Amino acid sequence: MLNEIDLDAANSRLTGVVRRTPVLRSRLLDDALGAEIYLKAEHLQRTGAFKFRGAFNAIAALDSNIRARGIITYSSGNHAQAIARAAQIFQIPATVVMPDDAPTSKRQATESYGATVVLYDRYTERREDVAAAVLADYNLTLIPPFDHLDVIAGQSTCARELFEESGPLDHLIVPVGGGGLISGCALAAHRVNPKCRVVGVEPEAGNDVQLSLQQGQIVEIEVPDTIADGQQTTAPGTHTFAIMQQRVAEIVTVTDNQILDGMDHLFRIQKQVVEPSGACALAALLADKTQIAGGRVGVILSGGNISPERFIDLMGSR
């Protein structure tokens, strides 16, 4: 399966389309952690998160006749916006199945790119079922948020760009939801430096991937209660699980309060606004959950889609 994932094709499709996001450095942070930290600023990616990479790559990889019929997906937000924007660029229709409690800002952004939003109740309905019903009616192609080889390949370009800028890294710290981002990043890391230690970070309440890797089989949990809405997944996918088993060294967890510390640090010191999931990987470093002292460390800031109201609310709650 690993050799079916075409990292180079993804890189060619995305070059000149994705934004080559900056890599941020800070002497304060390096001193505080006793390591060399490279922050990959994917909150500055098109549509505000790395998800644009995987979404665009998956749509671009389709046969043009199939693509023209339209795309459908399910997502709590960032993948939805990414699919909507990528579909708009290809001038094809997009349908997004979204939980009815998703942040309004994310829903509005999806609609602003011209996608049709179908709402469902995530506590009583399965998004896969809702999507399957619409898909069959309109002959659409499903592009899920993480368990898809071209989505994973697209996400790999995030780490690839980081390495091009930072040079070889000892550790790569990546937020984990369903594992699409870390799978792609781990494949890219392994190619340039098989010794690079790839560590995933999940919110403590939603450690489905940690449990799955520990138990050697996919473990499904309840919808987790966490502020990190980009990582409210209930289980890894079959592809992402297999890749993570081979290429991810460890998954650590952070509490919501530790995530808030990460957001606070990024705002105060780096002058960056990130959403909770976007601060998750840095939060693990600040909370001393990863052994990185003395190393060269890449950290993915995965997204920045948060409304001013929610940002103020969260920052004020500490």
Ligand X SMILES: *Cc1c(COP(=O)(O)O)cnc(C)c1O
Enumerate binding residues for ligand X (CB under 6 A).
Answer: 49, 51, 78, 145-146, 175-182, 230-231, 233, 275, 277-278, 302-303
Termini Cα distance of the chain: 45
Q: For residue 66, which amino acid is it?
A: I
Question: Considering the complex, what minimum distance in angstroms separates the CB of residue 79 from ligand X?
Answer: 6
Residues in the chain: 318
106 is annotated as an active-site residue: no
Catalytic residue among 206, 230, 298, 304: 206
**271 catalytic per annotation:** no
Residue 117 tokens read as 């939003």
Shortest CB 312 distance to ligand X, Å: 19
We find the least distance from the C-beta atom of residue 54 to ligand X, in angstroms, to be 8
* 36 versus 253: smaller Cβ distance to ligand X: 253
Minimum CB–partner distance for residue 278 and ligand X (Å): 5
If the CB atoms of residues 36 and 105 are measured against ligand X, the closer one turns out to be 105
Closer residue to ligand X, CB minimum distance, 145 or 262: 145
10 Å Cβ neighbour count for 184? 32
Active site residue 206: yes
Place of tokens 């809702």: 130
Cα–Cα nearest to 232, from 132, 131, 101: 101
- CB of 99 or CB of 175, closer to ligand X: 175
Question: In the chain, which residue ranges form alpha helices assigned H by DSSP?
Answer: 7-14, 27-33, 51-60, 64-69, 78-90, 104-112, 127-138, 149-166, 180-192, 208-215, 238-247, 256-268, 276-286, 308-316
Q: Where are the beta strands (DSSP E) in 108-218?
A: 116-120, 141-142, 171-175, 197-203
Compute the least distance from the CB of residue 28 to ligand X, in Å.
24
* Residue with tokens 């781990």, as numbered in its chain: 186
Annotated catalytic residue: which of 202, 256, 261, 275?
202
Q: Is 277 a catalytic residue?
A: no
Task: Give whichever of 61 and 181 is closer to ligand X, judged by the CB atom.
Answer: 181
The torsion defined by the Cα of 166, 168, 169 and 175, in degrees rounded to 10, comes to 70
Alpha carbon distance 168, 166 (integer Å): 7
Give the residue numbers annotated as catalytic, written as ranges: 51, 76, 202, 206, 208, 302
